Structure 1
Amino acid sequence: MKTAFVTGANKSIGFETARQLAQQGIYVYLGSRDLGKGIAAVSQLRSEGLINVEAIQLDVTDDASVEHARAAIGKKTKVLDILINNAGIYGGYPQEALNATIDQFKAAYDANVYGVVRVTQAFMDLLKKSAEPRIVNVSSSQGSITLHSDPAYKYYDYKGAVYLSSKAALNMYTVVLAYELKGSNFRVNAVCPGYTKTDFNGHRGPGSVDVAAKRIVKYALIGNDGPTGKFFSEENNPETGEIAW
């Protein structure tokens, strides 16, 4: 049975991603900053007959928490096949370049960028033991500098210096990580789930968590002949999914 670790998986898109992976017969470690909420999420999935799920306490902004999660999962499995870096924050308001505070930037980068680095580096040894290791960094088309430089982009006026720049930084990390793992069976991609109705955005998005999770799971399950080092947003490119950085 393949194994997967999904960060920030106790609710919304992360929870639905964990559900869909479990439905595929994958054993899913469900990362949650609040272990109680993680356990409640696992109970919900088990009530649906998905017994191949387990809660793991994880705060991606805390080195000790990441190390503890790695140790806990390492006691249960010697191989991790899929890592989905889903945990993240918006960063609060204001988001204007001239008004956002340094503390906002620090908090957003700690979760959205440094958190991904912490978790990825901590679990790399388990991933390297997989025959088909997959890393999906949950990004946003809002992190595309190309799109946000184009007045024709449908979200062109949805600017936010904190969140957008953190996702642009995550995208570059994805590119470099994929480059360093080239020539192996690793497939590392950034995936935008789309503008989805969740508490992350005050339930303003038009998309559903079901569709958003499907977009993430798709790249978690690609074969060894699949793409790597790419940026996908099916919301913005329904034909091939790939969008410009």
Structure 2
Amino acid sequence: MLGYSLRSVRCHRIAVVTGGNKGIGLEVCRQLAASGVTVVLTARDETRGAAAVEKLREQGLSDVIFHQLEVTDASSIARLAEFLKTRFGRLDILVNNAAISGVELVDDPSFGPKPVGEQFNGMDWHQRIGWMYKNSRETYSTAKEGLRTNYYGTKHVTEALLPLLQSSYDGRIVNVSSGFGLLRYFRSEELKQELNDADNLTEERLDELLDMFLKDFGAGALDARGWPGELASYKVAKAAVNAYSRIMARRHPRLRVNCAHPGYVKTDMTRNSGLLTPEEGANNVVKVALLPAGGPTGAFFAIGKEASFL
């Protein structure tokens, strides 16, 4: 009887994708559903989330369900956890994709007119990133909100769904990260070493470091303390997600907990300046979500291949 039950579970996996109504998240939902996974597509906005599910169903992907989720709202997270517990009793795959830029987007006339459509085609990666830097403004408020969503949202969703993941025969968490989360962007060697110390770093120390970052941001001391420069909040939040993933992998060896950098993708967040399509970026995430049982844990995958956190 146990063998039959296990085969049934193997054939019918359940996944949750946060921020699933557009961009990379929607494509992750589509590709997982096309692989035979039952997908719970989540989004903050119920109308947009329901429309995204309907779009996938029109493509013949009927095994997709919408559930509202605001990753910064504890009651919203709790409602999702209760729904999953009642409906499925377990969770096999969690893709933490929901994120914000942590900046205000502006158009800086001194950097020239905003490229549109094919105008980006004449710009290389550095030029596109440079344009993004020049057309972004980071304030204390946006930096704080960036950490709240990109790090603490990921952490709180993971904590709430952890018992359901532990009920799976092969529970796995994929935290959508970024090349900007690599430790090379930190100018302090002490910060780099501490964030890279996967054997000793704790969640409590991560909280202290993030509090320190916001304090230094408010005091205008990011340079002096060796934090990242442009898009600082986004870089620090993604580095924290990477570190948290390694902590979770160490603490829960039965789970597969990995980070996936999808690449520089054309999305609303990048103002469509990316080099990859959402389909290509999502594929780099789905590859990690569907790794064979017993595969790596506590690893960073850059554009589909295992890479360094540095």
Conservation of the 8 A alpha-carbon contact between 2:21 and 2:49: yes
Of the three residues 163, 172, 175, the one matched with 1:137 is 175
| Cα pair 1:147 1:244 within 8 Å, conserved | no
Select the structure that is richer in helix.
Answer: 2
Q: Cα gap change, 1:158/1:218 in structure 2, threshold over 3 Å: closer, same or farther?
A: farther
Q: 1:2 aligns with which of 7, 13, 18?
A: 13
1:172 partner amino acid: A
- On the 8 A contact 2:103/2:139 being kept in 1, the answer is no
Q: Which runs of 4+ in 1 moved over 2 A?
A: 93-96, 99-102, 146-149
Aligned-partner Cα distance in 2 for 1:222–1:113: 24
SS of residue matched to 2:262: coil
Instruction: Specify the alignment match of 1:55 in structure 2.
Output: 66
Shift of 1:158: 8.5
Aligned twin of 2:165: 127
State the match for 2:286 in structure 1.
217
TM-score by length of 1: 0.89
8 A contact 2:151–2:240 mirrored in 1: yes
Kindly indicate whether the alpha-carbon contact (under 8 Å) linking 2:93 and 2:173 is maintained by their aligned counterparts in 1: yes
Tell me, in whole angstroms, the C-alpha distance in 2 between the residues paired with 1:148 and 1:193: 21
Q: For 1:49 and 1:14, how far apart are their aligned partners in 2?
A: 18
Counterpart of 2:309, as a letter, is: A
Task: Give the aligned partner of residue 230 of structure 2.
Answer: 159
**1:204 maps onto 2:273 in alignment:** yes
Instruction: Compute the displacement of 1:93 (Å).
Output: 3.4
Q: Distance in 1 between matches of 2:270 and 2:262?
A: 13
Q: CA deviation at 1:169?
A: 1.0
Letter aligned with residue 142 of structure 2: Q
Q: Report deviation, 1:73.
A: 2.0
Q: Counterparts of 1:163 and 1:27 in 2: how far apart (Å)?
A: 31
Match of 2:309 in 1: 244
Report whether the alignment pairs 1:178 with 2:243: no
SS state at 2:55 partner: helix
Query: For 1:146-182, what per-residue CA distance to the aligned partner results, in whole angstroms no more than 9, with x for missing partners?
Result: 2666xxxxxxx98321111111111111111111012
Identity %: 39
Structure 2 residue ranges without an equivalent (≥5): 1-11, 106-132, 188-227
Could you tell which deviates more after superposition, 19-28 or 102-111?
102-111
Match of 2:298 in 1: 229
Could you tell me how far apart the structure 1 residues matched to 2:166 and 2:36 are? 21
Task: Spell out, residue by residue over 1:9-32, the C-alpha distance to the aligned partner (whole angstroms, 9 max, x if none).
Answer: 000000000000000111000011
Q: Identify unmatched segments of 5+ residues in structure 1.
A: 150-156
Matched, 1:91 2:162: no
What one-letter code is carried by the residue in structure 1 that aligns with 2:184? T
* SS of equivalent to 1:201: coil
What is the distance in 2 between the residues matched to 1:119 and 1:23?
25
The two structures, once aligned, show a CA RMSD in angstroms of 2.0
Aligned partners of 1:142 and 1:148 also within 8 Å: no
Counterpart in 1 of 2:52?
A: 41
Q: How many residues align?
A: 230
Following the alignment from structure 1 to structure 2, what is the Cα–Cα distance between the partners of residues 72 and 37? 20
